[in-house]
């Protein structure tokens, strides 16, 4: 019975980056900074068949520094119409293969590339948002794969909410119902 719910959550994760206006396109990603959880909204770029999640960021961002120190992350998705929450706990891996990076970079629109070519790194203080300078010669594009170890599914419904935790084994995902 749990398999049905796993297939539903997997379908929603796959649809996130592919279906226009899908609520899973944007999600909250938490990293550990020193001893504090830091959250930010990121864009889901792709979900692989094995549930690995792909996001892009600036290589100079704080999340990259956090991941280099501690690559355990948590991702939170919510679908307001279906009343589904999906929480993913896993490991973030910074992609270092230059050909893979080039392939992702070449598929980004010219307008979106501006996010990765600012002269100063994200989080630097500026006097005016109109005065951001860009370096067209060098980008700081970075891709991250999030490999889930555990996925928790919560569906709010009556008469009973449904909550299941799925844990990754060597060969597949094992589900266990939880008290909502």
Helix (H, G, I), strand (E, B), or coil: what is residue 14? helix
List residues bridging with 58 in a β-sheet: 141
- pLDDT at residue 103, as a whole number: 96
The pTM of the full predicted model, rounded to 2 decimals, is 0.94
- pLDDT at residue 2, as a whole number: 84
Tokens of 12: 């929603």
164-170, long-range: CB within 8 Å, 24+ apart, which pairs?
A: 164/2, 164/5, 164/6, 166/2, 166/6
Write phi, then psi, for 164 (nearest 5 degrees): -140, 140
Domains in the chain: boundaries = 2-178
Judge contact between 45 and 29, C-beta under 8 A: no
Distances (CA, A) of 129 to 125, 126, 135, 147: 10, 7, 16, 35
DSSP string, 112-173: HHGGG-BSS-TT---S-GGG--B-TT---EEEEEEEEEEEEEEE--SS--EEEEEEE-SSSE
- pLDDT at residue 171, as a whole number: 84
Domain 2-178, CATH: 2.30.110.10
d(CA 139, CA 58): 9
Neighbouring CB atoms inside 10 A of 121's CB total 13
Residues of the chain with pLDDT under 70: none
Q: What angle do CA 147, 38, 102 make, to 5 degrees?
A: 50
- pLDDT at residue 145, as a whole number: 98
Neighbouring CB atoms inside 10 A of 146's CB total 25
Query: Hunting for tokens 């700081």 — which residue is that?
Result: 140
């Amino acid at each position: 019975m749990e398999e049905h719910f796993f297939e539903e959550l997997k379908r929603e994760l796959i649809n996130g980056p592919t279906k226009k206006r899908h609520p899973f396109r944007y999600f909250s990603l938490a990293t550990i900074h020193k001893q504090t959880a830091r959250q930010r909204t990121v864009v889901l770029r792709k979900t692989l068949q094995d549930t690995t999640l792909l996001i892009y960021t600036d290589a100079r961002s704080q999340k990259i520094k956090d991941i280099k120190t501690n690559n355990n992350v948590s991702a939170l998705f919510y679908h307001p119409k279906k009343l589904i929450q999906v929480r993913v706990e896993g490991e973030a891996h910074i992609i270092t293969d230059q050909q893979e990076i080039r392939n992702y970079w070449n598929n980004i629109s010219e307008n979106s590339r501006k996010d990765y070519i600012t002269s100063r790194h994200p989080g630097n203080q500026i006097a005016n948002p109109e005065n951001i300078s860009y370096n067209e010669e060098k980008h700081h594009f970075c891709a991250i794969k999030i490999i889930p170890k555990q996925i928790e599914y919560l569906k709010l419904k009556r008469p009973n909410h449904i909550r299941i935790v799925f844990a990754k084994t060597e060969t597949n995902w094992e589900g266990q119902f939880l008290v909502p």
